[in-house]
Amino acid sequence: EAGVAQSPRYKIIEKRQSVAFWCNPISGHATLYWYQQILGQGPKLLIQFQNNGVVDDSQLPKDRFSAERLKGVDSTLKIQPAKLEDSAVYLCASSLDRASYGYTFGSGTRLTVV
């Protein structure tokens, strides 16, 4: 089966600019996650979707980050305006459903804010 697709692979922007990341989960996976991984650290959950509804966004900096999953398939994560500390790899993962423990991760988007 095809994996989790993410684009772009790399992005360099100046602080205060905006950026968007795209994720296409594995077909049929109802649950989608966005994680932020700062260099040298483990991934941190930003937001979790079940179909097109938000299950958990408690660690999403809502003043600058937003995410949506229209139609319960693809998802986009946006940062506006970006700060230097947003430099990280943004990972998307999906699973069959919330009760499924089989997370599959994409390769991520590496964001550099200068």
Partner 1 sequence: GESVGLHLPTLSVQEGDNSIINCAYSNSASDYFIWYKQESGKGPQFIIDIRSNMDKRQGQRVTVLLNKTVKHLSLQIAATQPGDSAVYFCAEMTRGGSEKLVFGKGTKLTVNP
- Site pattern 11..50 for partner 1 (x: CB under 8 A): ----------------------x-x----xxxxxx--x--
Q: Which of residues 59-98 bind partner 1 (CB under 8 A)?
A: 91, 93, 98
43 CB contacts (<8 Å, ≥6 apart)?
35, 36, 37, 91
DSSP letter (8 states) at residue 65: E
Alpha-carbon distance values, 75 to 5, 48, 88, 97, 100 (Å)? 11, 11, 18, 16, 20
Please say which residue, 91 or 113, places its beta carbon nearer to partner 1.
91
CB of 80 to partner 1, least distance (A): 24
| Cα(91)–Cα(64) distance, integer angstroms | 18
User: Which residues in this chain contact partner 1 in the complex, by CB under 8 A?
Assistant: 4, 33, 35, 40-45, 48, 55-56, 91, 93, 98-99, 101-108
